[in-house]
Chains A and B, each alone.
Chain A
Amino acid sequence: MPSSIDRKSPSLFADDGFSSARLMTYCLAAVLLMALDQRGAYNLKIRESLATLVSPVHMLVNVPFEVADSISNSFTDRHTLRLKNQLLEDRLLVQQVQLSQLAALRDKNMRLRSLLGARSGLRVQTLVAELLAVDLDPYSHRVIIDRGRNDGVMAGMVVLDAGGVLGQVDISSPETAEVILISDPDHALPIQIARTGMRSIAFGTGDTSILMLPNVSINADIKKGDLLQTSGMGSHFPAGYPVARVMSVERSTGRPFARVWARPVAQLERASEVLVLLPEPPSAIQSDTGVVSGTPVPAKTSQTAGDAAAIDGNEIQ
């Protein structure tokens, strides 16, 4: 195909000065857009409508994997299924015992709280979601889940996996939502050391297996193996969910702060099923019924108490 065919639009590069100017313009525009995006200057509406635009593509890419999954599920042989069933039943038994202990503890906690006149713990609804089989930019530390605004998932909600906190919903479109992982260098999470109650902030490092606590004072009581949990400060994350375990504490004389590294307890790289915490609307908390009124209840929700344990929801607070 000779290039002379296209007479209406001559080659952009006929004139050097013109083309470099255009290059510079586009580069500047791109850098400006990136700077704005980094600073979170975009209106949430714009981001959400953009996400809505591409969300069908994400779901489309996910389809073959879902089909393959269901096919391999339906061809699993009896023996494997029975083994798996046995395993799950065992685990259920163990956890039920633990739960009954927790229920007793919770009752006690409630009584003590009411004695103190404190507000009883927030009840939280959870929603099971699956990660879409989509690989995003490896340096953006984001995943896509298959629940969106239609299921009540909104920006800012906390996402957990079986281990602990995974991240936070950043953008929600009608059918899917984008979750920013706690490993993103932009992400900061208010935490508390479970053993001592000391508060700090955990920053993502870009590495999915490392979080950093840059502002722990040098003589703070923190050591390897300590569990970090959400402190509930900043009111984005409810308190008490496990976040990470301290890997190493580096105290060097001459610096006012110790450098603390921790490993997330959630499987940031391998999670496939997650829980989204839907904060209960204030009206429902006041009405004290345990059942959400007024807002549509998503299909797969279950009641849990604020302390990470799924305790049956009939008990009145």
Chain B
Amino acid sequence: MSSLRQNNRLLYLLLAIGLILSIVPLPNGLEPFRPPWVSLVLIYWSLEGSRSVRLGFAFSLGLLADVLLASLIGLHALQWVILMFLVARFSSRIRFSSPLRQTLTIFLLLLNERFILLWILLLKGEGNLGLELWMPAITGALVWPWMFVLLSRIRQPGS
């Protein structure tokens, strides 16, 4: 039980780092390439943690992120609830597929997240939608394998 609590503490720490990383300013021109850190942490935890991240938790975290990022309240909540649902639904398949396939699946999941964003932005009447809308899905998928290895090392220093 204590290790479970420790695990949870690690999750909160990772999410806090993820949230901070999503508002830390990047050099001019690099902003569109910012990987979706919190989504990646959530996916990792849903796949490798002791249990899937609950939808309610993803929802509240999303609301927090919306306030922090000053986005439309409910946007990140929607994205992450759907993300966590999909990951939990297909977790066994994702977990046991080859690294390449896994990365590809993560890419599709992140792409799905961007589609949700696109839908909301179109409803909102945003006029400036270029290629950079899709960049976070690509950089996120590129970051994923490294993050997977790093986080696995952190969680199980022995292996």
Contacts and interface: CB of A to CB of B under 8 A. Distances in A.
Interface of A: 1-3, 5-6, 9, 11-13, 19, 22-23, 26-27, 29-34, 36-38, 42, 50-51, 53-54, 57-58, 61, 65, 133-140, 142, 144, 178, 185-186, 205-207, 270
B82 interface: yes
State the majority secondary structure of interface residues on B.
helix
Q: How large is the interface on B (under 10, 10 to 19, 20 to 34, 35 or more residues)?
A: 35 or more
A206 B121 CA distance: 10
10 contacts: A3-B50, A5-B50, A23-B82, A30-B81, A34-B73, A34-B78, A38-B124, A57-B68, A135-B25, A186-B125
Given A12-B54, A135-B34, A206-B127, 11 more contacts: A5-B4, A19-B55, A27-B78, A30-B59, A31-B74, A34-B78, A51-B67, A65-B25, A136-B71, A139-B71, A139-B117
B73 A33 contact: yes
Nearest to A50: B67
B51 A6 contact: yes
5 nearest A-B pairs in the assembled complex, by CB-CB distance? A33-B74, A30-B78, A137-B71, A34-B74, A207-B128
Nearest to B56: A26
A65 B117 CA distance: 30
Contacts of A9: 51
Contacts of A185: 124-127
B72 interface: yes
Nearest to A28: B78
B122 to A, nearest CB: 11
A12 B24 CA distance: 34
Interface string B129-141: 1001000000000
Contacts of B19: 57
Contacts of B126: 139, 185, 206
A103 to B, nearest CB: 39
Contacts of A138: 31-32, 132
